[in-house]
Amino acid sequence: MDQRLIKKAEDVVLQGQSGESLFIVKEGLLQVNIAIDNDQTINVAHLVPGSFFGEMSLLTGDPRNATVTTQVDSLIYEVTKRDLEPILRGRPEIAAILSESIAERQSRNQHQSENAMLGEEELEASLLRRIRAFFSLGGESLEASSLGATRQ
């Protein structure tokens, strides 16, 4: 992981931007905003130490779905695809755990999701397929058993 100090009022990521990393907040306060049209943005979250963001871009290659801005000087860690890939190759069941976490977060914010019509389990399965494809993990036969194991 790379450590980064981001000054107050700086954007860490911009909605629509490409990216292959996630960020973990070590110190500080960040605001998450989503543009819902050309004139309006809404605040959907504040991130405090221990929070993370950017997981969709890291795990699926999707563009950033929100803009994250520091509210105070903040210390964050950046985890890239290159950092995570050997971990997922060694422990592919982690992809199922990550897809479950992402599905829960997206379910809370369905208004901005293109997958708003999917139920949480369907969304989780869809995300797991996308993560495995993005990291070339394969393992379709593991999908059902991995998803079941994370719910126990």
Q: What is the pLDDT of residues 110-150, one digit of tens each?
A: 544 444 455 778 878 888 898 989 888 876 544 444 444 44
Report the alpha-carbon distance of residue 99 to residue 79 in Å, rounded: 17
pLDDT in tens, 83-110: 999 999 999 898 888 888 788 777 766 5
**Mean of pLDDT values over 44-56:** 92
Across the chain, mean pLDDT equals 84
Q: Specify whether the CB–CB gap between 3 and 19 falls below 8 A.
A: no
Cα–Cα separations (whole angstroms), residue 83 to 2, 20, 86, 87, 90: 10, 10, 7, 8, 12
